[in-house]
């Protein structure tokens, strides 16, 4: 079995800890000095990694870290029990709601950007969740 750990680069570790603990109810596990923190309480640990804006993500990277809103082909979906309440908590901590909450056959969806420019989604399942779509 493969163990999944989610790593999120941030430019302000304390702000990131506040955001993810206040909005999602995660708890700080281990601290990695000033360079990071482990958040627990989800289905996979989340490691917040302090990386300054303008730093190079890898030796062969042509771009530098930028915490303005950016696009990446990977994003995180957080399953919540009350999408409206989660959105309000997130906005109070500096997130931006990028599209009004949408009803879907499987539940409700909110598209946001966290305070570090990362796209995140909040999902609130109803009924059988994705199985409401049919298929196998």
Per residue in 20-72, pLDDT (tens digit) is 999 999 999 999 999 999 999 999 999 999 999 999 999 998 889 999 999 88
Domains held by the chain: number: 2
Tell me which residue range forms the domain holding 18.
1-55
Distance CA 91, CA 95 (A): 5
136, pLDDT greater than 60:
no
Q: Tens of pLDDT along 6-20?
A: 999 999 999 999 999
Per-residue tokens: 71 = 């696009």
> Domain boundary residue among 12, 33, 55?
55
pTM, two decimal places: 0.91
Other residues' Cβ atoms within 10 Å of the Cβ of residue 29: 13
Query: What rounded mean pLDDT belongs to the chain?
Result: 95
Cα angle 73, 78, 79 (rounded to 5 degrees) comes to 135
pLDDT of residue 87: 98
For residue 32, the domain's CATH number is 3.10.180.10
pLDDT of residue 89: 98
| Cα torsion 134, 100, 10, 54: sign | positive
**136 and 78 housed in the same domain:** yes
> Domain boundary residue among 55, 80, 96?
55
pLDDT classification of 135: cutoffs 50, 70, 90 = low
Q: Is residue 63 part of a domain?
A: no
**96 and 48 housed in the same domain:** no
Q: Is residue 26 part of a domain?
A: yes
Q: Tens of pLDDT along 71-108?
A: 888 999 999 999 999 999 999 999 999 999 999 999 99
**73 and 48 housed in the same domain:** no
């Amino acid at each position: 079995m493969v163990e999944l750990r989610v790593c999120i680069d941030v430019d302000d570790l304390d702000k990131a800890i506040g955001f993810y603990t206040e909005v999602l109810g995660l708890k700080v596990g281990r601290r990695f000095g000033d360079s990071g923190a482990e958040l627990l309480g989800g289905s996979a640990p989340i490691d917040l990694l302090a990386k300054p804006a303008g730093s190079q993500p890898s030796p062969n990277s042509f771009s530098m870290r930028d915490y303005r809103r950016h696009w990446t082909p990977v994003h995180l979906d957080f399953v919540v029990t009350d999408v409206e309440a989660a959105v309000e908590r997130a906005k109070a901590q500096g997130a931006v709601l990028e599209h009004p909450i949408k009803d879907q056959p499987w539940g409700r969806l909110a598209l946001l950007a966290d305070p570090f420019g990362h796209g995140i989604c909040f999902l609130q399942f109803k009924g059988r969740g994705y199985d409401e779509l049919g298929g196998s």
